[in-house]
């Protein structure tokens, strides 16, 4: 477990977060802090609001109430989002990786990674390419710089998506089921890159069904159900001695399935 400085300001501070779709309350007043360098793994049954929670943390979903702060700066307050210009600036601090990769299909791997820094960080093509090649090296794909996304495996696409998110130099990385769309034999290569980022001190929030990853890499495991966080704690506690019966039966169901 990483040392967490109790006096450090949280990297992500969430208070009273509420989100509904129509009459369906998905997040019912969530309070949570993510400390710098922490890896928070979010687990819970299907439909428990894990993705919605993550998406609220970078403004992809607009909540009805509550606040989210990134590095002390409000992304939303009392359910009101920042104006677009400020929201976009703050979003650059929060990288997001989706289940479905979301690469630009008409751009090469290198151009996928350089686009954001050129447009939003105002880097020259040459500067952006130097950084992008280093990131592709980090995710083990330096040799695929000129390839088109369609020629890559799912695991390779996801590693490009991670490199692309990192190219914006985020302070926090959000992963929404990054391995769920992958064939089982490709899951490991993506988890490996995520483990590397964790070991380098990246602050991460990860929604995943990969319980081994939650156990090995998570500093905190958050269990969601019924519109809220039902418990949160160190993986060894959550996995061996959860305080909630709902956590126990969820884990039992998941662990017997895998």
Distance CA 178, CA 191 (A): 9
DSSP 5-21: -TTSPPSEEEEEEEEEE
* Contact track, ligand ATP, 48-87, x by CB under 6 A: xxxxx-----------------------------------
Q: Smallest gap, in angstroms, from Cβ of residue 184 to ligand ATP?
A: 18
Q: From the centroid of its chain, how far is CA 22?
A: 26
Strand partners, 12: 34, 70
DSSP SS3 for 182: coil
Q: Using the minimum distance from each CB to ligand ATP, give the nearer residue, 46 or 146.
A: 46
The stretch among 41-49, 118-126, 130-138, 182-190 that binds ligand ATP (CB under 6 A) is: 41-49
Which residue from 26, 103, 205, 223 is in contact with ligand ATP, where contact means CB under 6 A? 26
Q: Using the minimum distance from each CB to ligand ATP, give the nearer residue, 13 or 50.
A: 50
By the rule CB under 6 A, 21 interacts with ligand ATP: yes
194 secondary structure, DSSP code: H
Beta-carbon contacts of residue 162 (< 8 Å; ≥ 6 apart):
97, 139, 173, 178, 190, 193, 194, 197
Q: Using the minimum distance from each CB to ligand ATP, give the nearer residue, 28 or 93.
A: 28
Would you mind telling me the total number of residues written for the chain in this entry? 258
Q: How many residues bind ligand ATP (CB under 6 A)?
A: 10
Q: Smallest gap, in angstroms, from Cβ of residue 48 to ligand ATP?
A: 4
Q: Smallest gap, in angstroms, from Cβ of residue 49 to ligand ATP?
A: 4
Q: Smallest gap, in angstroms, from Cβ of residue 44 to ligand ATP?
A: 6
By the rule CB under 6 A, 23 interacts with ligand ATP: no
Q: Smallest gap, in angstroms, from Cβ of residue 154 to ligand ATP?
A: 18
Rg (CA), the chain: 18
Q: Note whether 217 and 194 are within 8 A (CB).
A: yes
Q: Using the minimum distance from each CB to ligand ATP, give the nearer residue, 7 or 46.
A: 46
H or E element at residue 238: helix 235-240
For CA atoms 55, 176, 216, 2, give the dihedral sign: negative
Q: Using the minimum distance from each CB to ligand ATP, give the nearer residue, 123 or 204.
A: 204
Q: Smallest gap, in angstroms, from Cβ of residue 3 to ligand ATP?
A: 30
For tokens 């998506």, name the residue. Answer: 161
Could you list the residues that contact ligand ATP (CB under 6 A)?
A: 21, 26, 44, 46-52
């Amino acid at each position: 477990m990483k040392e967490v400085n109790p006096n450090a300001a949280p990297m992500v501070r969430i208070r009273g977060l509420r989100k509904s779709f129509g009459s369906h309350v998905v997040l019912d007043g969530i309070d949570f802090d993510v400390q710098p360098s922490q890896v928070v793994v979010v687990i819970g049954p299907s439909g428990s609001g894990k993705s919605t929670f993550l998406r609220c943390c970078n403004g992809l979903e607009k909540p009805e109430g509550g606040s989210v702060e990134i590095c002390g700066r409000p992304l939303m307050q009392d359910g009101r989002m920042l104006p677009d210009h400020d929201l976009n600036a703050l979003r650059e601090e929060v990288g997001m990786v989706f289940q479905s990769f979301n690469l630009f299909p008409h751009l090469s791997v290198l151009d996928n990674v350089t686009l954001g820094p050129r447009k939003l960080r105002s880097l020259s093509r040459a500067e952006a390419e130097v950084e992008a090649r280093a990131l592709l090296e980090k995710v083990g794909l330096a040799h695929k710089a000129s390839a088109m996304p369609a020629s890559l495996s799912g695991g390779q696409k996801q590693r490009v998506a991670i490199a692309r998110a990192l190219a914006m130099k985020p302070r926090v990385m959000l992963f929404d089921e990054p391995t769920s769309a992958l064939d089982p034999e490709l899951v490991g290569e993506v988890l490996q890159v995520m483990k590397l980022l964790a070991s380098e001190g990246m602050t991460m929030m990860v929604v995943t069904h990969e319980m081994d990853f939650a156990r090995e890499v998570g500093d905190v495991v958050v269990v969601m159900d019924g519109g809220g966080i039902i418990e949160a704690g160190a993986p060894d506690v959550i996995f061996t001695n959860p305080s909630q019966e709902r956590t126990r039966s969820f884990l039992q169901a998941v662990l017997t399935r895998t």
